[in-house]
Amino acid sequence: MTDTPPVGSQPATPTPEPSADVPAVPPAAPEGPPARLWDRMRADPQYAPEHLALEAVRRLGPEAAQWAARARAEHPGIPADALADQAARKFVNLARLSGAVSGVAGLPGAVLDVGVLAWTQARMVLHIAAAYDVDPLHSDRATDLLVLQRVHKVAASARLALGVAAGRERADALFGVGGQRPLGRVMLQLGVRLAQMAGVRAAKRMFAKIVPGAAIVLGTWANSSATKDLAQRSRALYRERGTTVPEPRRR
């Protein structure tokens, strides 16, 4: 411990040390998909939701875990449902603001908008998991994301697709695979896959932005409605999971 040098006749003041009970603040999580993830999704648009889910658990899981730990330290005995409600309200409000965040017209802007919305929704799901003391860093959270966001109907197919996506990530890192394809077709496929992940309403509306002069696609109602529905499904899943024995971490 380092003491502050005395000034005049004042005694030295000990420098306070951080409490062991309060977790350190994690680095700020990105508000939208990071550039490296965008590159990966453009290179492999068919598996864009799987790449996003894997990266969300890696990037956003620590933030969710530390948020829940701080909340419990500051409010001992707070019910899990109350924490989950806090998370849902926060991210539904963020979803309302996430439409047209890019300021870019046409297909690229629509893809950016739905990508940010899908990322915000994934962030919310991981926070709700943490509220019910379900490990947001566990590899199974990526599976949960894909099922809750209705990219896959069942966990088994989601796990299979995640395995394929993870294998492609490793292959790309080792061999630099990923052929060049026409950008327009890639962006269209990427937009469709991300819109599917963000919600059916987003998928139906995103193409309005492609038309020159069209109004903002992802209006506040569409974003918040899809995100509220996802919050309800997430609370139902993790409320039940939170009553069971914690799952072993698989890394």
How confident is the model at residue 242, as a pLDDT?
78
**What digits encode the pLDDT tens for the residues 173-207?**
554 545 455 556 788 888 888 888 887 555 555 55
- Which phi and psi (to 5°) does residue 3 adopt? -90, 145
Q: How many CB atoms lie within 10 A of CB 213?
A: 5
Rounded percentage of the chain residues whose pLDDT exceeds 70: 66
Query: Distance between CA 16 and CA 14 in Å, rounded?
Result: 6
How confident is the model at residue 168, as a pLDDT?
80
Q: How many CB atoms lie within 10 A of CB 63?
A: 20
How confident is the model at residue 194, as a pLDDT?
86
Please name every residue paired with 3 in a beta bridge, in sequence order, or none if there are none. Answer: 14
Q: How many CB atoms lie within 10 A of CB 67?
A: 23
Instruction: For Cα atoms 68, 70, 74, give the angle at the middle one, nearest 5 degrees.
Output: 120
85 to 54, 138, 226: CA distances (angstroms): 25, 22, 16
**What digits encode the pLDDT tens for the residues 42-96?**
999 999 999 999 999 999 999 999 999 999 999 999 999 999 999 999 999 888 7
Check if the beta carbon of residue 51 is closer than 8 Å to that of residue 145. no
Query: Distance between CA 234 and CA 124 in Å, rounded?
Result: 9
